[in-house]
Amino acid sequence: MEKKSKDPRKKDVVIPPKKPKLTKAERRALQEKQRAAKGVKPTGDSGQKVQKTAGDPGSKQKQASGDLISGLGRHQIAPDAADIFTSKAIKLFSHLPQYKPLENVTSCGVTVKPMTKVSQAANLHPAILELGIKYADGSIRGANARCKAMMMAFKAVIRGYETPKDKTLSFDLDQKIKPIFQHLTNCRPHSVSMGNAITFIKMTIANLSRDVKEDEAKDILCEQIDEYVKERITFADEVIAEYAVSKIQNGDVILVYGRSEAVELLLYEQARKGGIDSFRVIVVDSRPLMEGRAMLERLSKRGIQCSYILLNSLSYVFKEVTKVFIGAAALMSDGSVVSRVGTAGVALMAARTCNVPVLCCCETYKISAHVQLESITRNELGNPDDLAVTADNTYGSILGDWRTTPNLKLLNIVYDLTPAEHISGIITELGILPPTSVAVILREMYPQDNNESDFR
């Protein structure tokens, strides 16, 4: 028999076994062990590092970096609290960005989130940093208010912009906008209206001629921003109010939920044309934000007849309601409406149970090309502590200890989705149309996208 020659180049390949998956506690213990081996001792669970030798130049460099962060007025996130919020996440909504508490805001008005680098934050305009804080702490709420504030902040950025040498304004300014918008999104997830406004700004910058001088280009951009706010928001709400008033008759009992600028304006218009005694308003409100109180206060100052109830009393007043007006945070291409949580329940009871027409007031700049079928895939999570606070702004005995209570989790959803079949009509600045015609508006507004073959 012939002996087979062994090829010396072929060696036995040894496949190492897969490493076992470690739990979160085991990974943390392993990290602590590695830090101890490197001569670094941890200070609590915050993960901050302190060198043993105070004279080490590396420690001075880290201290200088820390001074830079504190000098910027960073929104410092308590790691323990952040871990608790993550561990208390509802599994069905775990894919959404979890709420993280922001603390220690200084007066200089700068915020830096964990996903935002210090160097990036240092290069951002002060108006953007201040706006980020207002987004994060809820000082600015509502799709229109957030979009207006963002556009005014971008005007400040454009006014203070200077084109670097060997670069064009249109290209460099477009690159500057990306980290700005990302920073605002880090502070709070952006709305559909903000996304559409950013698209408008980027298109306006891209259409600038290279022959235009820098000062003239800045003036053009600022004028375009002012025109956008005036036409797509301010003027649009006035036109919506005129269209909506045509649907109100003398003696109508109108139900509104929360607070909407467009709905509020149409009620003012009806009071001006038909008189304050020609209709009555029922303001429905819900925790935790209680936005209906602001609506109630404004309507009462105008002398409009109002009633105020909470969402859980809704079924008792629908016998006298003749029309329901709701606002919108976004309008999907299939006619469904994204609005503050609770709107879907109001529309469902009005349309299905009581056969009351539901009219949605929405500006066209809030229309999205996307289709959304439910409120789980895309949504926003608010502060769970807002649910724990009772009417006297104190924590209840049980909810106050929700962080340490096992098997107790709080879920504060910001938006919900109202299906198109529960909406009788959508009132825009282009007129009153059925929900099925939203796709037609999209084709008319963005003809350049009609030839695209991808589904959005």
The letter for the amino acid at 449 is D
Amino acid occupying residue 359 = L
Nearest to 329 by CA among 139, 147, 193, 138: 193
Whether 52 shows a pLDDT value over 90: the answer reads no
196-234 exposure pattern, b = at least 16 Cβ within 10 A, e = fewer: bbbebbbebbeebeeeeeeeebbebbbebbeebbeebbe
Distance from the first to the final alpha carbon of the chain = 69
pLDDT digits (tens, 9 = 90+) for 192-214: 999 999 999 999 999 998 888 99
Give pLDDT, residue 167. 87
Q: Tell me, what's the pLDDT at 121?
A: 54
Residue 6 token pair: 């062994």
Q: What is the pLDDT of residues 397-437, one digit of tens each?
A: 667 788 888 888 899 999 999 999 999 999 999 999 999 99
Q: At 217, is the secondary structure helix, strand, or coil? A: helix
Give dist(CA 219, CA 211) in Å, integer.
Answer: 14
Question: Which tokens is 236 given?
Answer: 């649009």
pLDDT per position as a tens digit, 10-36: 555 566 666 677 777 777 788 888 878
403 SS3 class: coil
pLDDT of residue 236: 96
Kindly report whether the global pTM for this prediction surpasses the value 0.85.
Answer: no
Contact 375, 415 (CB under 8 A): yes
**Widest distance between CA atoms in the chain:** 113
Q: In 3-state terms, what secondary structure has residue 250?
A: coil
